[in-house]
Amino acid sequence: MKFTGVSLIVILSILNNSSAYKILVYNSKFGHSNVNFYGNIADILVDAGHDVTSLMPEIDPSITNGTVKSKVILVPQTAGAKNIIDILRDEVNWFDLDPLDPRQLLVDFPYGNQFAPQCAGMLEQTELIDRLKEDKFDVMIAENFDMCGIGLVPLIRPKALINGAASAPLPRMNTEFGIPLSLSTNPSATNFRLDTHSFFSRLKNVYAEALGYNFFASSRSRVQQAFRDKFGPDYPSLTEISSHAAYTIINSEPLLDFATPILNRIVYVGGLGARDPKPLNQDLDKILSLRDRTVLISFGSIVKAHELDDTIKPSIIETTSRFPDVTFMWKYEQPDDDFAQRAKSLAPNLHLIRWIPQNDMLADRRLTAFVTHAGMGSTQELALRGKPGLFIPIFGDQMRNAGMMERSGVGKVFDKRDLGDWTKLTAAIEDLLENETYRINAQRLAAMIAKKPFSAREQLIKTVEFAAEFGASPALRPESYDMNWMEYNNLDIIAVFLILKALFVFSTVKIAFYIIRRLLCMKVKLD
């Protein structure tokens, strides 16, 4: 029997599709790094031959889809979500935000309030939910930041759930993943330094975790209430749903992160948000060729550089002007405003650019260093490309990310409150450029990541395919989910032991006093 070339291609295509799984990626549009991470996951799984759908609630429609290969279902932004996004964009001063101030975090900062109104709006789209249920997905991948995706699992009923974090686990996530907190060694998200031998440093870490726990608890309770308002008070809790996940994927690199206890079902896939780099356009290529050294400056997507305080922007100009032999490229959203025009004359080596392909730029050998807000996406890209950095965390997990990078020896943490002091910023930039240790450590770290026995891409594909075939294994679900706080920490055993010990001490003292009294009585009689 003879086969033509076309026939062979058709047969191979059929064979390939026969092993394809149907995968739903819940990718909520509330942050660029999150969307890029899950968007790249969707595209990687498409390349692996699977049928992938990305369900994308448009909490912030200005954020791109992050995926270019999967099928996309957009859920329009609700009025409630828009209101919160407008407040975050127009009223929150990110540089004044103190993540350890309970009033600012729990009262004045509405970041967690954006998820519940968007979720409630999506639950009204019953036809969409019914269609997703009818699709009979083999695997659903959902983030544990916007918990609405986790809440949808009992409605959509995929064969297996894979939950995850686009960063190191934030407060509440460790509980949902079943991971021990280990607060004596593991810095909380909003804490970038932890001295394990210092009482006050560990106390601060416990305080930071408790504060973050309460912040995220509020967000989750609102989302959970949205489900119970729609489907009744007996709807499963978000933690209970999450506990039955087949696997948990975490966007963190163990060779870079702090060493912490994990479970067998935890899979680290750090760096998946960083796509294969592309050549730079002609304008960026020309700028990189101007001088021997080039530094990239970016504060991420949420903080707008053109809206920075009037003390910070002049400080950056003053600092960069003091390094005339170094080119600085600053992601600045309004490169034609009055400040940008003044910057051209005051610091000719500073280029203000509306948008910069950060991953592609970091991969270019001509880039010397990176001044960054230390978002997880940025730190992962930096580590993959082997570049040193100055880390200026602004909010959230950026504090811990910055401390993680400093601990790895690839740069230093710089306090955002000192950005208006050009003398301190100049000293930090000089250290970044002249300290060869940072560059050596960064290149060694990149080489280690590149030569890992199994890449993050391989880990992802094999994990998803295994979950699609076999579902969740009960053996991988920790018993801790079904224990209360007293049982988990053996407080009942400790309490019984302390009571018995107290009774023993009490009895011993009583007996000792009895013997002493008897001896004294005998002595009196003898006298």
Contact between residue 321 and residue 347 where contact means Cβ atoms under 8 Å apart: yes
Enumerate the β-bridge partners of residue 331. Answer: 353
Counting runs of H as helices and runs of E as strands, what totals does the chain give?
22, 13
CATH topology agreement for domains 20-274+456-477 and 282-356+365-450: yes
Model confidence at 2, pLDDT cuts 50, 70, 90, reads very low
Give the DSSP H/E element, type plus range, for residue 370. Answer: strand 367-372
CATH number of 20-274+456-477: 3.40.50.2000
Over the stretch 69-100, which tens digit does the pLDDT of each residue have? 999 999 999 999 999 999 988 888 888 888 88
Residue 339 CA to residue 348 CA, distance in Å, equals 13
Over the stretch 239-284, which tens digit does the pLDDT of each residue have? 999 999 999 999 999 999 998 888 999 999 998 877 788 999 999 9
Model confidence at 7, pLDDT cuts 50, 70, 90, reads very low
Give the DSSP H/E element, type plus range, for residue 142. Answer: strand 139-143
pTM above 0.85, yes or no: yes
Q: Following DSSP, what letter does each residue of 220-281 receive, concatenated?
A: HHHHHHHHHHHH-TTSPPHHHHHHT-SEEEE---TTTSPP----TTEEE-TTTTSPPP-PPP
Place of tokens 């991969």: 363
Contact between residue 59 and residue 81 where contact means Cβ atoms under 8 Å apart: yes
Residue 211 CA to residue 216 CA, distance in Å, equals 9
CA proximity to 398, closest of 424, 378, 418: 378
Calculate helix-pair angle for 422-434, 312-321, nearest 10 degrees: 40
Place of tokens 């609405």: 148
Per-domain residue ranges for the chain?
A: 20-274+456-477, 282-356+365-450, 488-526
Q: Which amino acid is at 440?
A: I
Enumerate the β-bridge partners of residue 412. Answer: 390
Asked if the model's pLDDT at residue 11 lies above 90, the reply is no
CATH code matching the domain that covers 282-356+365-450, chosen among 3.30.830.10, 3.30.360.10, 3.40.50.2000, 3.20.20.70: 3.40.50.2000
Q: Rg of the Cα trace of the chain?
A: 28
The pLDDT, as a whole number, for residue 526 is 64
